């Protein structure tokens, strides 16, 4: 089965709970198997990802579709480049919801994204890739 950078489409369903949290083998390939580099990038993602999540949540509350779309697009790219599949998928869905101005969907997806962020960071700590 082919694996896209974002990991979309290879697990089926809506992705909120079915997508893998993290594909370590894919992430290691992206950093030429340099685990220290991966740790550094994941640490940067942890900080920036939390900031983007906050921006997304604020955009949902204020019904700012442009800010939602922009923040979700940015989060999608950074998560996808690190093989953080579930976050990337949900950010992509939020990006679409922002573009289509679907407020109720965006609210549900933002909640799912916050949970996915917590689960992903916990998994990365479990794998000793974050402290």
What are the domain boundaries of the chain? 24-126
Q: Cβ contacts of residue 73 below 8 Å, gap of 6+? A: 91, 95
12 has pLDDT over 90: no
pLDDT of residue 3: 35
- φ and ψ at 104, to 5 degrees? -65, -40
* Domain 24-126 indexed as CATH 1.20.120: yes
Global pTM?
0.84
The rounded percent of the chain whose pLDDT value lies above 90 is 81
pLDDT of residue 119: 96
- Burial (CB count within 10 angstroms: exposed 0-12, middle 13-18, buried 19+), residue 26: middle
**Could you tell me if 104 and 116 are in contact, meaning their C-beta atoms sit under 8 angstroms apart?**
no
The pLDDT tens digits for 27-75 are: 999 999 999 999 999 999 999 999 999 999 999 999 999 999 999 999 9
């Amino acid at each position: 089965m082919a694996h896209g950078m974002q990991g979309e489409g290879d697990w089926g369903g809506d992705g909120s709970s079915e997508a893998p949290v993290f594909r370590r083998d894919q992430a290691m390939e992206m950093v030429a198997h340099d685990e220290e580099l991966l740790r550094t990038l994941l640490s940067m993602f942890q900080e920036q990802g939390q900031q983007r999540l906050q921006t997304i949540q604020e955009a949902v509350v204020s019904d700012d579709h442009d800010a939602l779309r922009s923040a979700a697009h940015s989060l999608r790219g950074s998560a996808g480049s690190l093989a953080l599949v579930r976050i990337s998928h949900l950010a992509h869905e939020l990006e679409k919801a922002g573009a289509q101005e679907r407020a109720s969907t965006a609210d549900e997806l933002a909640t799912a994204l916050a949970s996915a962020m917590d689960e992903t960071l916990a998994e990365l700590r479990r794998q000793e890739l974050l402290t």
